[in-house]
Structure 1
Amino acid sequence: MTGAAWVLVRNDALLPRELDALYPPSVSTLAKTLRLFAGRGAKSGRPGERLARSLEGMGPVAIKLGQLLSTRGDFFGREFAEDMSRLKDKLPPFPTAVARAEVEHALGRTVESLYADFGEPIAAASLAQAHEARLLDGRKVAVKVLRPGIERRVAEDGEGLALAARLIDRWVPAARRLEPRAFAETVIRATVLELDLRLEAAGADELREVMALDGYMSAPAIVWEGVGKRVLTMEWARGWPLSDPAALTQPGLDHQAMADNLIRAFLSQALDHGVFHADLHEGNLFAAAPAQLTAVDFGIIGRIGPAERRYLGEILWGFLNKDYDGVARTHFAAGYVPARHSVAAFAQALRAVGEPVFGRKASEVPMSRVLMQLFEITALYDMHLRPELVLLQKTMMTVEGVARRIQPDHDIWTAADPVVRRWMARELSPAARVKRFAGEAAAALQNLARLIENPPTPATLEVREVRGERSALLWFAVGAVVSGAAFLAALYLA
């Protein structure tokens, strides 16, 4: 952590000189003092360029942070986002000869036995780089190869992040509701899983099937004979990477439809299936006219359970319909807001956030101000970070930023409406509620049956009495389930 701070100081990226006029006197004095230790590189480049250089030298986890920042030009300014964009796929590559050796070691065969041609690197990111290649059958593919020694770098980054989390938790009481330790554990775990490309291949294959159900997004097919722990081969993605400015100037590109497809693809993955691509920055998305999106790099996959999916759907539906009371009740039911607070007061706070946003173009909404207001509300209502939702929230932020870059006036709520409406019709319809009640009742009945079969103190009961109680309880439970299901069916389906 000390090393990271030193890198930022050397590049004048911690408290950059360009922001001197905004610092209070105490911070201004500190900034000028730190600048005495700045290196030669601190005098060249814009703040974003210097920060990108710093993060690049600090390791994979820091680069992931930079990739997230690069998607939010609406927060930090377009120039800053462009300066940070090199962290997506334009890092220095390692030699092709090393990559070929890695492929042969991982697959246990020669490069020539699988690939008719194996080219130079076409993209290089924090953990791996990609090569253009062609299989013996003529198919064009991309071959992803992990960087040599990356496991050690990730382990070091993880130790530093865990230490920083412990220090924040110990010395910054106000930050404890953000659960820094749990957040660090989530990030470290996700990054470590990226180091086994066999798992990534399996995740890509699963999400390819999920994406095909809706058609908002697609994924290339995996070439399984070209998959190993440190190597992954997939068919070539159609289109241009969105990290290339030329991608959005393609003839015939429908920017509105493409931005809509991005939002709908993410929401349909998360809501309908509980599994989603959790690293959807521009470097991992390819665009082709008129509105086709192809995702690559499935190293980070997020998953949310049925309860979280229901809460997410209800919250989105509530915002779409400006039902702030309903959104507030869902937050309390989910345990996101402690029960000691007022539901009505929380709904009032949500209205203060939502009303200024609805009906306005995205370019007219200062998202940095909205996020700051949300942060203030979470503090006011003692809302803690939910580790199980970290990847979901991070991806939502990234996707919304990319959609704005594709279409500056994009309306995320209009884009989300059909997916959320479909989910509501299926999951919260009267029939779905009856089905869910029946499932819960059946599970309760099974638990009751097990309890009856294995009573807590059988030695104290007469065998005849136990059998009688079993029979009575079972018949009572069956009757309750049938009666309850019939009542709900009559209530909701009438």
Structure 2
Amino acid sequence: MQRLGRNLLRLWVIARVLARHNALFLVERVGVAKPVIAAARLFVNEKAPGRPGQRLANALVELGPTAIKFGQALSIRSDLLGEEIAADLSGLQDRLPPFPFEDVREIIESELDRPLEAAFEAFEETPVAAASIAQVHYAVTPPDKTYPEGRKVAVKVLRPGVETAFRRDVGLLIWLAELMEATQPIMKRLKPVETIRTFEISVHMEMDLRFEAAAACEMAENFAGDETFRVPEVDWTRTAQRVMTLERIVGLPIDEIDQLVAAGLDPLEVIRRTSNAFFNMVFRDGFFHADMHPGNLFVEPDGTVVAVDFGIMGRVDSATRRTLGEMLLGFLTRDYRRVSVAHFVAGWIPADQSVEAFTQASRSIAEPILGKPLAEISIARLLGQLFQVTETFNMSTQPQLLMLQKSLLVIEGVGRTVAPTVNMWELAQPLIEKWMAETLGPVGRLRSGMETLATAADRLPKILDHADRAASMISADGLRLHPDTLKAMRPRPNPFRQALPWGLIAILGTLLILS
């Protein structure tokens, strides 16, 4: 009862803000807590400016950090909101006013267990960036043997109270998702609860900066020796749950084209390096930066692309990577049956659906996109429209692909900003073809089969050991079954069979009386 009251109160606050921006359609589509939404309708501002998606974005910014993050997550769900609203939400920025330096000092000293002046030789009080989860300050570390003049660093500090606000709001989202699944069975296919849980895990990891630091280290290891892309080094001695310190990057923002050209850098080469790096993240490593917008990408004087902000990361297992590879190859070669079969083999579409019908649907989606000029082709839009037809084929939502689609949208946007006349996938084509040949060709299939056999071989001794122990137990004491198993195996009385004799007697008795 307490949870119900708390969630209804928070929903009322949210509904009032949405009404003020004429954006109640977001909660109206959920179809739950209708009395609350109906009451909020009394406060709708019909004169709120902008398209529905723009009004919704404005309302989410007013509602704060969790709502902003949720809006960014919704921007990839065109299957739920439609293309226009999803596109408007994709531009949702999480820039917020900075919080006071007194809070910054208190958090750093509490987390690092020492005075601010002991941890840093110099510390700029004005932040260089302030977002929904944290803000960033420039600083310099004290001199040491490695850095006699101190090291220039960027210090990320979590917003005060953001964890409490997030727990409150995500609890409401889970409650709404549970109501949706319970009251609208048709929504189960879209996995609202699982989607919110995925969102919860993602943001929870953002709010422990040790996780972000670990992600940066993992990606740095994946790209060790790569001279075209790198990750800033983590200062673990000045990193804790609510504070993270990284080497400061000296470079140009990737979308400052005039500055790149003035510095003697080729924008085409910059985008080639960026697209190759993203492709390697997804298909080689299965671990990708899921927020590679222009504010998180810089280009150093030698042309090396550097990524920052590793709070939102995605993972794709090897089986999903192979399926994505089959799909990508099928689309690029216009072999739509291959695209269809890949979905069925992966189990994303139930076996009782028609391969031929889904092949036709894939063609209807891809041809208008692939028929455009090369510079306008969007793999992310292809995936997004594919998700929109999934209801026809009872395809379950794949949460791991939603984050990938969002990342594709962002990285394609970067490509079009820096090099509008080219397609980033064309620039990465040699890398794509090499990966496909190695992974989907005969050698790759043989390697995959050998890996499967190796995994089975590793498990075989345990299987044999369990079988040997089971055989020894049977030979020593016979086959013993659990009491519940025995109970289940007993013949169950058939009510009809037991009632049949008495029914016959009653009929015979009646006939005798009547005769």
TM-score class normalised by the smaller sequence: 0.7 to 0.9
Shift of 1:106: 0.6
Mapped partners of 1:327, 1:173: distance in 2: 28
Q: What is the 5 A alignment of 1:25-424?
A: 37-38=43-44, 51-67=56-72, 76=84, 84=91, 87-88=93-94, 90-119=95-124, 120-137=126-143, 138-241=150-253, 247-252=256-261, 254-287=266-299, 292-358=304-370, 360-361=372-373, 373-424=385-436
CA offset digits 1:7-57 (Å, max 9, x no partner): 1211334479xxxxxxxxxxxxxx9x97862579x7678877754442123
Name the stretch that deviates more: 57-66 or 186-195: 57-66
**Structure 1 residue ranges without an equivalent (≥5):** 17-30, 463-494
Q: Is this contact kept in 2: 1:161–1:184, CA < 8 A?
A: yes
Say if 1:172 and 1:235 are closer, same or farther in 2 by CA, change over 3 A: same
> What do residues 424-447 of structure 1 show as CA deviations (whole Å, max 9, x unaligned)?
232234333333323322433444
**Conserved? CA contact 1:142–1:235, under 8 Å:** yes
Q: Relative to structure 2, which stretch is displaced further, 349-358 or 148-157?
A: 349-358
SS at match of 1:237: coil
Aligned to 1:458: 472
* Separation in structure 2 between the aligned mates of residue 176 and residue 397 of structure 1, nearest angstrom: 26
Moved more, 293-302 or 205-214: 205-214
Which piece of structure 1 moves more, 206-215 or 229-238? 206-215
SS in 1 for 2:136: strand
1:234 deviates by 0.4
Relative distance call for 1:359 and 1:236 in structure 2 (3 A) is: farther
Indicate if the aligned counterparts of 1:285 and 1:295 stay in contact, CA closer than 8 A: yes
Task: Read off the aligned partner of 2:209 and give its amino acid letter.
Answer: L
What's the secondary structure of 1:109's corresponding residue?
coil
Q: Deviations over 1:403-443 (max 9, x none)?
A: 33333444244244233222223223433333332332243
For 1:484, the equivalent position in structure 2 comes to none
Instruction: Report if aligned partners of 2:52, 2:85 keep a CA contact under 8 Å in 1.
Output: no
Q: Across the two proteins, how many residue pairs are aligned to each other?
A: 440
- The amino acid of 2:132's aligned partner reads S
- Pairwise CA distance, 1:284: 2.3
| Cα offset, 1:310, TM superposition | 1.5
Hey, what's the Cα distance between the residues in 2 that align with 1:229 and 1:426?
41
Q: Does the C-alpha gap of structure 1 residues 71 and 189 become closer, same or farther in structure 2, counting only changes over 3 Å?
A: closer
Superposition CA RMSD, Å: 3.6
**Structure 2 CA distance for aligned equivalents of residues 286 and 396 of structure 1:** 18
Work out which structure has the larger RCO, using CA pairs closer than 8 Å and 6 or more positions apart in sequence. 1
TM-score under structure 2 length normalisation:
0.75
Task: For 1:458, give the aligned amino acid.
Answer: S
In the alignment, is the contact (CA less than 8 A) between 1:71 and 1:401 conserved in 2?
A: no
Distance 2:179 2:293 in 1: 30
Distance 2:253 2:451 in 1: 45
Deviates more, 1:330-339 or 1:389-398: 389-398
Q: Rate the CA distance shift 1:434–1:46 in 2: closer, same or farther, 3 A.
A: closer
Q: Please, which moves more after superposition, 222-231 or 415-424? A: 415-424
Q: Secondary structure at the match of 2:96?
A: coil
Q: Could you tell me how far 1:357 is from its partner in structure 2? A: 1.9
CA contact (8 A) 1:68 1:281 kept: no
What is the SS of the residue equivalent to 2:370? coil
Measured after TM superposition, the shift of residue 358 of structure 1 is: 2.1
Q: CA deviation at 1:320?
A: 2.2
Q: Aligned pair 1:434/2:441, yes or no?
A: no
Supply the distance in 1 between the matched residues of 2:63 and 2:374 (Cα, whole angstroms).
34
